Amino acid sequence: MKNIAVIGVGYVGLVTGVCLADLGNRVVCVDILEEKIEKLNQGEMPIYEPGLEDLVERNVKAGRLSFTTSYAEGLEAADFVFIAVGTPEGVDGEADLRHVRMAARSIAEEMTHPMIIVNKATVPVGTGDWVADLIRQYRNGNDDFAVVSNPEFLREGSAISDFLDPDRVVLGSLDLDAAEKVAQLYLPLRTTIMITDLRTAEMIKYASNAFLATRISFINEIANICEALGADVKEVATGMGYDARIGQGYLDAGVGYGGSCFPKDVKALTYMAETKGRHPQLLRAVMDINDDQRRQVARKVESALGSLEDKIVGLLGLAFKPNTDDMREAPAIYIAELLRAGGATVRGYDPVAEEVAARVMPNVELSDSAYDLAEGCDALVVVTDWNEFKNLDMARIRNLMRGNVIIDGRNIYEPVPMRELGFYYRGVGRGYELV
């Protein structure tokens, strides 16, 4: 059993802490937000993540997991300190490292014995060196320490399984012994562990997210061409995916990517490249296509209705993806604003994200169910592909609506059955519907 402190209890920190505890370690999670720690100590989760609440409860009861606002308490016995604070987008697209700076300084000031500091947050290339410099600057004693980069590859909605059954674990450090000690924490997972240098490990994270974002923008570009030429992007993607060199993942045409990672990380990588005199044309195109994909949805609604003025449009799904309540960079936010700018009244429903959506989308009328949402709407837009929406009684939905327009931004329905129910149906890249 190792003693571990995790700094920051957001998506990454909380999942990391509880999973490390579930592997048999003693973990103290530290966060400066008293309200968040109080709720966790009362068993209330600050985020929605399937399976997280049960895992927290189990490990708290076992005495392996605790929460505090005190760095001194968290670091008192820690062999490893994971920094998992947020790195939001800065003014010019760069990563904002103020929380990392605060965490590094607080760790240095409370350090009373040798420890290994592990950067778990997504940070720009070179941050590991910078964190080491900060700790040397602010530490009170001469205790030994090492910095290891350990980027996270967690998908919201499946973060626990991603942690406990990962494709790989990436570790980077200038201190091979420290990296190997961190590797020992992950041995129970029986996965590939890659050890490299600090900057390469940090770059692996950015390159991975940029590539996945590129796949999404690529298939959306193909979808737009399919619409013009009369091809079906779903079948195109399936046919492409049979090629082992390509694979099926992240080839679902839709309303574009969102969330806390892809938008921020692609912008940050672009910023890093530009500051070094490089010209990341592909990354810029990825972002442009993603932005335009949201505008395409609003244009389809307006085209189908003739005008958005005085129309009621309902958004099925508000979170940026299923199985999360995360609204960061959610396509629904942008689509709603475009529709409202055209004169429409916008309603929304999400099975989980209602509380968060109420804060970030104050001008959207929230409904209690998909059926409540549909009543009186001129058009519905599928924004998030929750399983609940795939099993709706669409005949009932049609009868509740004032109009008959369905803009399926996730291609969860099939055009022919929808038209047979009396809908005017448009998907993304389902070009044969124009024949």
Residues 69, 346: Cα–Cα separation, whole Å: 40
How far is residue 114 from each of residues 73, 105, 147, 231, 283, measured CA to CA in Å? 16, 16, 12, 61, 41
HSE-CB at 370 with a 13 A cutoff on CA atoms is: 25
- CA torsion 46→50→51→55, rounded to 10°? -20
Contact 384, 351 (CB under 8 A): no
- Could you tell me how far CA 103 lies from the centroid of its own chain? 22
Residues 301, 293: Cα–Cα separation, whole Å: 13
Residues 134, 130: Cα–Cα separation, whole Å: 6
Can 261 be counted among the known catalytic residues?
yes
Residues 10, 127: Cα–Cα separation, whole Å: 20
Residue 156 DSSP one-character state: T
- CA torsion 269→272→278→280, rounded to 10°? 20
The one catalytic residue among 19, 226, 261, 377: 261
Contact 20, 55 (CB under 8 A): no
Contacts of 91 (CB under 8 A, 6+ apart): none
How far is residue 378 from each of residues 303, 307, 314, 404, 407, measured CA to CA in Å? 13, 11, 8, 6, 11
Contact 433, 427 (CB under 8 A): yes
Contact 29, 40 (CB under 8 A): yes
Residue in 165, 163, 192, 180 with CA at minimum distance from that of residue 80: 180
Residues 374, 400: Cα–Cα separation, whole Å: 6
Active site residues: 261
